[in-house]
Structure 1
Amino acid sequence: MKQIINTIIFIPILLLVYCSTPTREIKPLLARKPYLQCALKDSLTILWRTDTGTVCKVAYKPAAHGEWKSVEGNVRLTNTGVTENEVVLRDLEPNTPYRYKILTNDIDLLPDDTLWFRSPVSQKDSVFSFFAVGDIGEPIEEGGTPDLLAKALEPSVSSMNFGLLLGDIIYPDGKSEAYDSNLFNHFGSIFPYLPVFTVLGNHDWHEPENNYLKEWKLPHNEYYYSFDYGQAHFIGMDSKNGDFHEYEKQVEWLKSDLEAAQGNATWIIIFLHHNGKSCTYKEDYNNVMALYPLFEQYNVDLVLNGHAHTYERLNPMNGTGEVIPEYIGSSQVYHTPKGFISITVGSGGKLRGIGTDSKPFTPDPENCRHKDLVARAAHLWAFLKISVNGKQLKGESFATEDLHLVDEFTIHK
């Protein structure tokens, strides 16, 4: 009887000791380094991924002065089974360098790294630069060079404000499962510091496009959208497989957006995946060329695309797609130009050989189906850097392998 009583007394004591021992929370592990999205006006979105987590925060402060602030965000389970952390920073001082830290469950995940970003410039600011490049995420084992592109961009990260990714971001099928191995793992020295805006390409549409939409955070409906940066207006379009996503609806939206930009922007730049007219191995896409009258009517300056794995800058065209005669030749300087300039930058991470005799991969201006169309073409891995300074816009194309200058042009308004 005495033994039974002792047992009855001892059990609650055991339970009390067990319940009073604090549970040890599992430390989250970083699954994807931070990347910056939606650099709009005075705000910026920071995302990163962990293997687990319930609460996420960003601590941030101006690099030159001030105290640390923190903002809590949202976490969600992704379709690949990891946790996405998303924090939106608001009321940022314009064109200001910031330091920041990422925290999941109050743990600084990169304590030894100096993370930073530059906030968007104000609408009055007329000086900024960005890169544009498409067709990036070809697997290295298949001959892709996303690693070389990231290495080539790295020296310019602190001098640029953002980047445009011109579709076909992940090969071969745009699957979420391939985003880290084919892109993010190579861009750890770029994406934590430089915001990027993206558009869908045909390979991003191979899988349900939700794969793409879950990887990025973009304005409007994420398929097509616009944003202002300084005194420039940017329009991203979803050309899907060349036939466009919601074509009629998207074109009506484009008209309204271009109309609203008139008189409010010094520069208008459109970026999408598919080309219109071209001298590359790709066909001319009718739905892109059908937009040419709008480009002329609403004073579009540049149209940037990927798709063809090469570099090609066209002479200025009018609304019917005809080259404006006064620009025929190797024009590099344009004063108060007429028409719009279309540029293909589709060799960010994928390049093919000479192809077949009937369908060469290299641009072929001399034997092109469109006479006098091309101002400059080069078949090599390359990216484009655009620098805006008031009413001057300068474009420079660089080879990713050795950073030699491939092409340059300047527009004066």
Structure 2
Amino acid sequence: MSPLNRRSFLSTSLGGLAAASACHPSLLAQDSSSLAEASNPAASFAPDTLFLTWQRDPTSTITIQWLGAETSADTSIQFATLEAPVWQIAKTITKPYTNTDLKVFRCELTGLQPGQEYQFQIANAAEVYRFRTMPGKATDTFQFVSGGDSGVGLHAINTNILAARQEPYFALIAGDLAYDNGRSPETFAKYLQNYHEHMIDAQGRLIPMVAAIGNHEVDGGYKRQRQDAPAYLSFFDGFYPEKTYGVLDIGDYLSLVVLDTDHIAPIAGEQTDWLRQTLADRQERPHLIVANHVPAYPSYRSPQGANDHLGTGEEQRKHWCPLFEQYNVDVVLEHHDHTFKRTHPLTNGLRDKHGVLYLGDGSWGQLRVPKTPEERPYLAAVSSAYHMTVHRLEGDQRFHMAMEQSGKIADVCMTTSKRPAKRG
């Protein structure tokens, strides 16, 4: 591993961290003259790894993060709604970017209004960013995108661009984000650069990222410790402070249950017990979605074990799938095999119109040729194409549209909640 240090960081413009001193919140970018920018380096301060994520309810919070060299300058966040700009200031904290001498800058904004557009700046920097909070009610229609297995190559960038064109409220990337393998902080920084540059919608809004852990976040891939995923957990430990699985509750209408497929947290035991209770506690939610990396129903790798090795997804099928079925999970988003796939609704691995749908299989920026439905009867649709999926939520219905990198629609399906959602 070649350490990412302050000098190399600045020379490759990963943020270009100039000093930023305090200013009045009403001084926006459009008020800055070229002369002022020339005399004030802070005016051009725009970290090119900045992205948004969440640690808590996305209807009322947002977390802003970027990578940079340690600085004594003001890095507080000034923010306000677009509609009625009464500016507030929030403090930014720093923490180590593990295995480098750089820092992760993090600021969580709280007490936000649901369904609103916001703007923010870093201290007195010229750049003004925009984002929107999640809607406050289940009756509001919205969409998000999902996928996995990205990397930093051209195909991953093209899928970023396609995803951003759909104007999603967020992107759920379930594992193998950068392919840093727990050993290359430079590669993870490059992934954030690409995300920052391209994951902006047509209205100029930043698209938040929700992430799950995969084998390529971890040095050794499976059955490791937290310290073996240093780059990933440098940024996502806010949501995963102790465990590498969790649930993101969005208002009272959507829960995203994000799991670790044996990369750091074992599947059986504590994680399965947590999953059982988490699903049981959310039976009145209109939308209950699970995301993880390694698929329970793979489209490329073999589900059957050999030579004392388990088949792909075998532990999930034993410990998790019965819980998905018992608690009527709406859809499971899984990846790792680098294809597009949709299964039939499944109960105990067999077709059942009342069963659980599995969508995947992780070809945001990586690709393989899938097995056919004739070879794997649980598969309903497959293709070998770089893709991501758009999920449109309308009331208690969900429309899932897989789009290939060319813009071609690969597949469309619909799911409807099977749980008795709370009304009133």
Q: Are the structure 2 counterparts of residues 212 and 282 from structure 1 closer, same or farther at C-alpha, using a change threshold of 3 Å?
A: farther
CA distance in 2, matches of 1:343, 1:240: 20
TM-score, normalised with respect to structure 1: 0.79
| 2:50–2:196 CA contact under 8 A, matched in 1 | no
| 1:123–1:229 CA contact under 8 A, matched in 2 | no
| 2:330–2:415 CA contact under 8 A, matched in 1 | no
Letter in 2 for 1:188: E
1:260 pairs with one of 269, 281, 305: 281
| 1:363–1:378 CA contact under 8 A, matched in 2 | no
CA distance in 2, matches of 1:60, 1:406: 40
Q: Are the structure 2 counterparts of residues 210 and 123 from structure 1 closer, same or farther at C-alpha, using a change threshold of 3 Å?
A: farther
| 2:142–2:393 CA contact under 8 A, matched in 1 | yes
SS in 2 for 1:261: coil
After superposition, residues 8-407 of structure 1 pair within 5 angstroms as 30-38=46-54, 40=57, 41-54=59-72, 55-79=74-98, 80-103=100-123, 107-108=124-125, 111=126, 113-137=127-151, 139-140=152-153, 145-157=155-167, 160-171=168-179, 173-174=181-182, 175-190=184-199, 193-206=206-219, 208-216=228-236, 217-219=238-240, 221=242, 223-230=244-251, 231-241=253-263, 244-245=265-266, 247-263=268-284, 265-283=285-303, 284-290=312-318, 291-318=320-347, 320-324=348-352, 327=353, 338-352=354-368, 361-366=369-374, 368=375, 370-371=376-377, 373-400=378-405, 402-407=406-411
| 1:258–1:298 CA contact under 8 A, matched in 2 | yes
CA distance in 2, matches of 1:246, 1:397: 28
CA distance in 2, matches of 1:169, 1:347: 11
Letter in 2 for 1:249: E
TM-score, normalised with respect to structure 2: 0.77
| 2:299–2:337 CA contact under 8 A, matched in 1 | no
Displacement, 1:222?
5.1
Letter in 2 for 1:213: L
Letter in 2 for 1:389: E
Displacement, 1:348?
0.3
- Structure 1: which 5+ residue stretches go unaligned? 1-23, 328-337, 353-360
| Structure having the larger proportion of residues in strand | 1
Percent of aligned positions that are identical: 21
| 1:268–1:300 CA contact under 8 A, matched in 2 | yes
Displacement, 1:389?
0.7
- Structure 2: which 5+ residue stretches go unaligned? 1-19, 22-39, 221-227, 304-311, 418-424
CA distance in 2, matches of 1:172, 1:71: 31
Letter in 1 for 2:317: M
Displacement, 1:59?
1.0
Alpha carbon RMSD of aligned pairs, Å?
2.5
Runs of 4+, deviation exceeding 6 Å: none
Letter in 2 for 1:404: K
| 2:261–2:293 CA contact under 8 A, matched in 1 | yes
CA distance in 1, matches of 2:141, 2:195: 29
* Residues 257-284 of structure 1, C-alpha deviations (whole Å, 9 max, x = no match): 1111122x01211000011123423533
CA distance in 2, matches of 1:91, 1:182: 30
Which piece of structure 1 moves more, 184-193 or 342-351? 184-193
* Residues 279-309 of structure 1, C-alpha deviations (whole Å, 9 max, x = no match): 4235331111111111111111100011000
CA distance in 1, matches of 2:64, 2:407: 29
SS in 2 for 1:188: helix
